[in-house]
Structure 1
Amino acid sequence: MIGGGTRRRRLDEIWTHLHNNPEPSMQEYGTSDYLAEMLGEAGLKIEKFKCFPGFTADIGEGSPQIGLRADMDALVQEVAGKTTAVHSCGHDANMAIIATVMLELSELEDRLKGPVRAIFQPAEELGNGADLVAALGVTDGLDYLFGVHLRPQSELPAPFLAPSISHGACLFAHGTITGEDHHGARPHLGANAVEVALEISEGLRRLKVDPQIPSSAKMTLLHAGGGNLNVIPGSGTFGVDLRAQTNEAMSILHTGLISVCRSVTASTGSEIHLDYRDAVPAAIIGARAEAALTTAVTAELGSAQLSSRIVTSGSDDFHFYTQRNPALQAAMLAVGANVQPGLHHPAMSFEAAALDRAVGVLVAACHLVAERPFSSQAR
């Protein structure tokens, strides 16, 4: 066990550097270099990604069986009247936790009974960073993958931790309506792009999903027409936000959106094109991974600090890894840190001691899983 004072000093040093040097999605080169150099100097094997920021850091002999994922990007928001990058989602904390776990494991490598890989990933906030990294195959040989994320106080207060986060799926669609403008006095000569969009919006409201599964489908952007109010716009653009707690429900919403647009096209004659963006899958939680984190929380902190699985309508691209490898045992540790006022708020703050607790749990989970390996055939 690493001394509490040493761990806290290490966490504070790493977090302070990352917090003071935030970088937006796909620009996290300085962040990546800082962490890679620090972990490389500690003896970990570093492999940087070639086409975008990020890297893997391995400890132990043989092919890694356990993975730890940290997201690196900051959000771009207005802070004190200036647009700037800021770690308002706590990714600086996530990175500090995973880096500290790897450093502690390296110092106890002789007691580690299986190899561990840390994955420092870009662009979680874009919703596709994990998809890009998963395509590199860095998790293909893993048995387990653990993530970590601070939670809002209203969802999980300190000092509690939960062994998994059940994120929902989300899908953004940008729509283009193409038609001819015509005179305001002659509406019969063509379709009105505003009315076309409203028909699509109304169609989304009529989509039916099992009421036991949280879901929503709504138009969140609409632009049509120019400065002349006597011109009926034939063309326009719109945006749709789809949310569902399960991937099956998201499939229903996605199919429904296509059906609605086809129906409106048939009735109005307008051409409607959909461009999909940020299609993030819902959580696929591994029962063994969740059980391992449950045991680790109890062993490290006691059962009184263990909470049940967190269910949230928010999304995280972490689940692309299990979408690529369905047999992968994956779960994200939820860390109660009294986050205020909330995630993505530019003035977000949290309880620093929560990072210490998370490190202890993940170190314990790695040792636990390494001591109880299972083969792919036994899954």
Structure 2
Amino acid sequence: MNELNLLSIIKYREKWGIIYMNIKELSLKYKDYMIELRRYFHRHPELSFQEYATSKKIKEELDKMGIPYKSGDNNTAILATIEGFKKGKTIALRSDLDALKVTECTNLEYKSENIGSMHACGHDAHMASLLGAAKILKDIQNDIPGTVKLIFQPGEEMGKGAEKLIEQGFLDGIDSIFGIHVISDIKCGKISIDAGPRMASADNFKIKVIGKGCHGARPNQGTDALVTASSIVLNLQSLVSREIDPLEPVVVTIGTLISGTQYNIVADSAEMTGTARCFNNEVRKKIPEIMKRIIENTAKAYGAEAMLEYDFAVAPVINDSKLSVIGEAAAEKILSKDALLKNTKLLISEDFSSYLAKVPGIFALVGAGNEKKEAIYPHHNEKFTVDEDCLQISSALHAQYAYDYLNANDL
């Protein structure tokens, strides 16, 4: 089936217009509910794989709605199920749970009560939105031709949560998956949901340099690991500027460099850590190969040795082209065509990519920025917040996309 035929199915089936209006109206009906929930989660943040009170609160809300669920191995992950009026496809909607090791510096009435922990990435909004979507889908349950699964995932900030849930069978029987991330860099009322790369890979590496220590007054008697490491840092910058197609966004960042013991001793070793990011899986494979060559040859030039340890941690998030057609149509229904953004890429990462390696799906970026509401700070900042209007938009998008996907033929 081509994309034009798929789009016409989505737009012109008569009964969809009725559900479309219901979903918009219901999302507005539950807006205050979602705001209250988001503020509760914001006030009580919990770190990765420690989201016990958070999970308990979500289970309480699901119990009130009469939605059955099961827990994951560590009792924080949740897989809830909404069965439609007949058998059909099964779609999963996913939210993350965890907060960050950040001390909040806002004046919000509902600021974090857990010192040193903060929802500085919007996961509080994700949970509230998905619970709002659960209410909407429960209300229209008799019109859903299939099954909707709700995944509440721990440990996203560590990049390991999705993999753990896949190992526990959370994707068993799932035909497709959908996720949302609210973004403060995008104005509230805008959505990016088109095909192709949305978020970058995030791989981690460690570089060890071995030299030979000596007195700082007689450096010729040793091999300076610190000078060698400094040259490696500088030479690695040519990887992006001279070895990768300039049309391919790539970042290689050295975040730490530890070397030396005293001001008058030539360092005998050095250790660096960093991250590499890109949107192209073929480019991703080449990065450690190029790094290894640069690192080893730079060290050799100084008479030292160097080793690279490289971890392929999180893959890029790349939206399926057919499913993006459904997603854009759903976004038009709940907002407008003018709300759609094209080719919005972020070099931050998301372990949602682990699900996409197993089943087809798409990931939406929902605007949450608003200067008038001081929602202007970047993610992971101690003053981060969102325009809470994004909750209603996110919940409606979850529900509308799920309904449209389950009604689409030939997928």
Pairwise CA RMSD of aligned residues?
2.4
Matching residue of 2:61 = 38
Residue range with higher mean Cα deviation, 95-104 or 344-353: 344-353
CA change 1:56–1:63 in 2 (3 A) is farther
Q: How many residues align?
A: 369
Q: Alpha-carbon deviations, 1:254-303, whole Å to 9, x = none? A: 22122223324544554534444572211221112211110111122222
CA change 1:337–1:130 in 2 (3 A) is same
Residue range with higher mean Cα deviation, 196-205 or 132-141: 132-141
Separation (CA, whole Å) in 1 of partners of 2:287 and 2:203: 9
Structure 1 gap segments, 5+ residues each: none
Q: 1:103 aligns with which of 120, 128, 135?
A: 135
CA change 1:149–1:4 in 2 (3 A) is closer
Normalising by structure 1, report the TM-score.
0.89
Separation (CA, whole Å) in 2 of partners of 1:88 and 1:97: 16
Q: Does 1:67 align with 2:102?
A: no
Secondary structure, counterpart of 2:381 in structure 1: coil
Matching residue of 2:336 = 302
Secondary structure, counterpart of 2:220 in structure 1: helix
Q: Equivalences for 1:75-90 in 2 at 5 Å? A: 75-80=100-105, 84-90=116-122
Structure 2 gap segments, 5+ residues each: 1-21, 107-113, 370-374
Q: Does 1:27 align with 2:50?
A: yes
Separation (CA, whole Å) in 2 of partners of 1:312 and 1:367: 28
Separation (CA, whole Å) in 2 of partners of 1:341 and 1:183: 47
Matching residue of 2:364 = 333
Residue range with higher mean Cα deviation, 122-131 or 90-99: 122-131
Q: Alpha-carbon deviations, 1:304-336, whole Å to 9, x = none? A: 32222421222111112112x1xx222112212
Q: Alpha-carbon deviations, 1:172-215, whole Å to 9, x = none? A: 21223344422223333332110221232133122210100111
CA change 1:142–1:309 in 2 (3 A) is farther
Q: 2:318 aligns with which of 281, 284, 309?
A: 284
Query: What amino acid does structure 2 have at the position aligned with 1:231?
Result: I
Residue range with higher mean Cα deviation, 158-167 or 60-69: 60-69
% identical aligned pairs: 24
Matching residue of 2:278 = 244
Matching residue of 2:231 = 199
Normalising by structure 2, report the TM-score.
0.82
Matching residue of 1:125 = 157
Matching residue of 1:173 = 205
CA change 1:137–1:272 in 2 (3 A) is farther
1:151 touches 1:337 (CA, 8 Å); kept in 2?
yes
Matching residue of 1:209 = 244
How far has the Cα of 1:18 moved from its partner? 0.8
Matching residue of 1:14 = 37
Separation (CA, whole Å) in 1 of partners of 2:255 and 2:402: 42
Separation (CA, whole Å) in 2 of partners of 1:73 and 1:199: 38
Query: What amino acid does structure 2 have at the position aligned with 1:106?
Result: K
Matching residue of 1:160 = 190
